[in-house]
Structure 1
Amino acid sequence: MSGIRKIANVINEYPNAVNLTFGQPNFPTPDYIKEAGIKAIQDNQTAYTETAGIYELRKAACDYVHKLHGLSYNPDDEVIVTIGASEGLDIAFRTILEEGSEVILPAPVYPGYEPLIRMCNAIPVFVDTAKNNFKLTVSLLEEAITDKTRCIVLSYPSNPIGTIMTKKELQVIGKFLADKKIFIVADEIYSELIYEGKHYSVGAIPELKDRTIVLNGLSKSHAMTGWRIGFVFAPSYLTEEMYKVHSYNAICASTISQYAALEALIQGTHREEIVTMKKEYKERKEFVYNRLKELDLDVVEPQGAFYIFPSIKKTGLTSEVFAEKLLNQERVAVIPGNAFSDVGEGFIRISYAQSMKELKDGMDGIERLLVSLKT
């Protein structure tokens, strides 16, 4: 069980705790998307769809990533609609990995990758990016790549840190990997939540496109976590194989959710509700970051997603002990950094996808705990 889920279960014993753990928007799904789901039910759109997803949605998804990120994929055979990006990761790993394959993970990293890799009898290789401002570099890759390396996971904007990779940074990595037979799995679920500038996708690097699988979805950008819709984009020879895994794994994504997602993509990111969510995340990020700095905690300012990853090493406590004390004494829940690999020890993850009141209460609780530790 992941460290995130473990603490989520503990929180149930503290019903009045301020919960800064889950990466789930506190906004409701916009009404126009919900109405599209209701209409799908009323129109009896309740049967299976084509395994890869309804064509209109696949085309809209391809148009969407082309407009936003310059990615070119054919809706006929280069995209699959999945049950969230999580299922997309599963079918991607099961397609490209075999026993003994090594997968490079830039740590600290989302804990959902490792179990999927191990279920393929493959080996996760954690690369410590903390020494480089939490960004993967060519020098770090050179240290980690072996003749067994099959795949590199690029998850930017990152969970748990909120760092991004610039176009220049990714192109340098692309040049290094151009002649290597290594797949790239690009988890870009937070690509719409970047606060300055635009997201650049590794899928846009020509030298890597034939070995790159791009995952995206609407859970974070459109507050649609429970609708469970994700997208997997890849060259047709890879999509053909992932399609087989997906067909036995799920048959197809929820029909009703697919029609809701179609409306979300048709409306785009210019809708007032989507713009407002992103604006509020940015305001919350600035509030939490400034409070942490005032508390003299070392922290990298997030550039995307809705997480922040401050160091609590100055307290002398492990991340788990700090989180336990914070919950028990101040009724504030955060995720211990070691949930994101051993590299995350000495940090905590705070999700600012919560209301400003909860964030203020949570930061006040952290401040009280820090004061008590000094006395």
Structure 2
Amino acid sequence: MATQRLAQRLHGIAPTIFSEMSALAVRTQSVNLGQGFPDVDGPPEVIARAVQALEGGHNQYAPGVGVPALRHAVARHQQRHYGIELDPDSEVVVTTGATEGIAAALLGLVDPGDEIVVLEPYYDSYVAMIQMAGGVRRPVTLRAPDFRLDVDELRAAVTDRTRYVLLNSPHNPTGTVLTRAELQAVADVAVERDLVVITDEVYEHLVYDVEHVPISTLPGMAERTLTLSSAGKSYSFTGWKVGWATGPRELVQAVLAAKQWLTFTSGSPLQPAVAHALDDEPDYPARLAAELRERRDLLCAGLAKVGLEVRVPEGTYFATTDVGGLGWPDGMAFCLALPERAGVVAIPSQVFHDDADAGRHLVRWAFCKQPEIIEEGLRRLAAAQLHA
């Protein structure tokens, strides 16, 4: 019965779309511009540090809160980039990727019936974890074609039962980076209504021609903000699943309290390597962002050339197109037909929405691939019949 209740609670959530579309790419030998993982590893020296740790006996449980070297490196990272001062012993916890950080934050903080304001479209784990925690999501939709925050809609979403804002900037899947003014609007609401902000900043360094502003740096927000990030995106080690949560002691302790029943601890030999990345390879994310900017421009120009309406993203790995003018009933139908028609895989953005109309004809494309892979995908699209 408990299994049935959980299944009912999670009914309608479709995170498996990524594995399904990637499997479809393999089966049809398609170019995979769907799932967001890079096809080149991060700095070799960081990998060498992981090998040293493996061979040096760092293969047993790490402390649940994370090894001291990484916690201190995370604190230095926050201070160096944003001027945020943290106690590495009480205000930093290492997580098994930002996804576990999201899960632990929601399970550790949310009581059944609590409302959580969350930006729609959602990163796929948000819906599942809010439901598993017994929370109630209150969506605020970033709408095409600009995907900007509607402050009036934000204020209207907050009720007497609202306890949290789950923020994501740079935003997956739209690529929007919230401006300082938009973040200030969120901060104003959080302070006025005494809300805690859980902010997913996993793409913090992958921004293009704009500034990423951590909301915790705004007045009145440090004491009410739990910040989540990881090394996966910034250092191209998505498979390592090493992330962190930072913020006030009581919020970090809530994450740790839930984490001990999820993974308990995270990969011991990987943590010293990530500490090395943060301390000794601080310029790598900027170099990666410069490369991704070129790939973004390559992909977006090519998608526009084949007749798709493209929104050029300000951050992340992803660009969004509107396929409504091609005659398809929705993005799902387009994406399911695309591998056979063009030998290319993309992701229908409607799986990230509650509002079926808002995301119906939107499709997400990943540009965290080598230029020759993107070019091959574009060649295939140009040669295909994309209209329904």
SS for the counterpart of 2:64 is coil
In structure 1, the partner of 2:167 is 154
TM (norm. structure 2) is 0.90
Aligned pair in 2 of structure 1 residues 372, 216: CA closer, same or farther (>3 Å)?
Answer: closer
In structure 2, the partner of 1:320 is 332
Q: Tell me the alpha carbon deviations over residues 138-194 of structure 1, each in whole angstroms, 9 at most, x when there is no partner.
A: 212122112222221211111111110122321232123212122211100000101
SS for the counterpart of 2:163 is strand
The structural deviation recorded for 1:18 is 0.4
Query: Does residue 24 of structure 2 align to residue 10 of structure 1?
Result: yes
In structure 1, the partner of 2:305 is 294
Q: Percent identity?
A: 25
> Is 1:217–1:231's contact at 8 Å kept on the other side of the alignment?
yes
Query: Does residue 234 of structure 2 align to residue 221 of structure 1?
Result: yes
- 1:283 alignment partner, one of 291, 294, 300: 294
Alpha-carbon separation, structure 1, partners of 2:77 and 2:100: 20
- 2:192 alignment partner, one of 175, 179, 194: 179
Query: Does residue 42 of structure 2 align to residue 29 of structure 1?
Result: yes
TM (norm. structure 1) is 0.93
- 1:211 alignment partner, one of 213, 224, 227: 224
The structural deviation recorded for 1:37 is 0.6
The structural deviation recorded for 1:334 is 0.3
SS for the counterpart of 2:269 is helix
The structural deviation recorded for 1:56 is 1.8
Instruction: Give 1:344's aligned amino acid.
Output: G
Instruction: Give 1:313's aligned amino acid.
Output: G
Instruction: Give 1:295's aligned amino acid.
Output: V
Aligned pair in 2 of structure 1 residues 210, 50: CA closer, same or farther (>3 Å)?
Answer: same
Query: Does residue 382 of structure 2 align to residue 367 of structure 1?
Result: yes
Instruction: Give 1:183's aligned amino acid.
Output: V
> Is 2:335–2:345's contact at 8 Å kept on the other side of the alignment?
yes
The structural deviation recorded for 1:131 is 5.5
Aligned pair in 2 of structure 1 residues 138, 119: CA closer, same or farther (>3 Å)?
Answer: same
SS for the counterpart of 1:249 is coil
RMSD: 1.8
In structure 1, the partner of 2:11 is none
Alpha-carbon separation, structure 1, partners of 2:148 and 2:287: 29
Alpha-carbon separation, structure 2, partners of 1:287 and 1:192: 20
In structure 2, the partner of 1:258 is 271
Aligned pair in 2 of structure 1 residues 131, 300: CA closer, same or farther (>3 Å)?
Answer: closer
In structure 1, the partner of 2:8 is none
Alpha-carbon separation, structure 2, partners of 1:41 and 1:362: 38
In structure 1, the partner of 2:9 is none
The structural deviation recorded for 1:372 is 5.2
Alpha-carbon separation, structure 2, partners of 1:268 and 1:31: 11
Corresponding pairs, count: 370
In structure 1, the partner of 2:91 is 78
The structural deviation recorded for 1:63 is 0.9
Gaps of 5+ in 2: 1-13
Alpha-carbon separation, structure 1, partners of 2:323 and 2:291: 26
SS for the counterpart of 1:51 is coil
> Is 1:178–1:208's contact at 8 Å kept on the other side of the alignment?
yes
> Is 2:107–2:133's contact at 8 Å kept on the other side of the alignment?
yes
Instruction: Give 2:99's aligned amino acid.
Output: S
Alpha-carbon separation, structure 2, partners of 1:126 and 1:360: 36
Alpha-carbon separation, structure 2, partners of 1:58 and 1:76: 7
The structural deviation recorded for 1:204 is 0.9
Aligned pair in 2 of structure 1 residues 137, 72: CA closer, same or farther (>3 Å)?
Answer: farther
> Is 2:25–2:31's contact at 8 Å kept on the other side of the alignment?
no
In structure 2, the partner of 1:347 is 362
In structure 1, the partner of 2:65 is 52
In structure 1, the partner of 2:371 is 356
Gaps of 5+ in 1: none
SS for the counterpart of 1:179 is helix
In structure 1, the partner of 2:56 is 43
Q: Runs ≥4 in structure 1, deviation > 6 angstroms? A: none
Alpha-carbon separation, structure 2, partners of 1:158 and 1:108: 9
Alpha-carbon separation, structure 1, partners of 2:36 and 2:281: 22
Instruction: Give 2:374's aligned amino acid.
Output: L
SS for the counterpart of 1:186 is strand
Instruction: Give 1:310's aligned amino acid.
Output: T
> Is 2:117–2:165's contact at 8 Å kept on the other side of the alignment?
yes
In structure 1, the partner of 2:6 is none
Aligned pair in 2 of structure 1 residues 132, 138: CA closer, same or farther (>3 Å)?
Answer: farther
Alpha-carbon separation, structure 1, partners of 2:286 and 2:249: 34
> Is 1:284–1:352's contact at 8 Å kept on the other side of the alignment?
yes
Query: Does residue 195 of structure 2 align to residue 194 of structure 1?
Result: no
Alpha-carbon separation, structure 1, partners of 2:232 and 2:184: 28
SS for the counterpart of 1:350 is strand
Aligned pairs (5 A) from 1:108-187: 108-130=121-143, 133-187=146-200
Alpha-carbon separation, structure 2, partners of 1:372 and 1:338: 19
SS for the counterpart of 1:310 is strand
Instruction: Give 2:40's aligned amino acid.
Output: F
Alpha-carbon separation, structure 2, partners of 1:353 and 1:160: 13
Q: Tell me the alpha carbon deviations over residues 170-228 of structure 1, each in whole angstroms, 9 at most, x when there is no partner.
A: 12321232121222111000001011143100111231222211001110110111111
> Is 1:69–1:199's contact at 8 Å kept on the other side of the alignment?
no
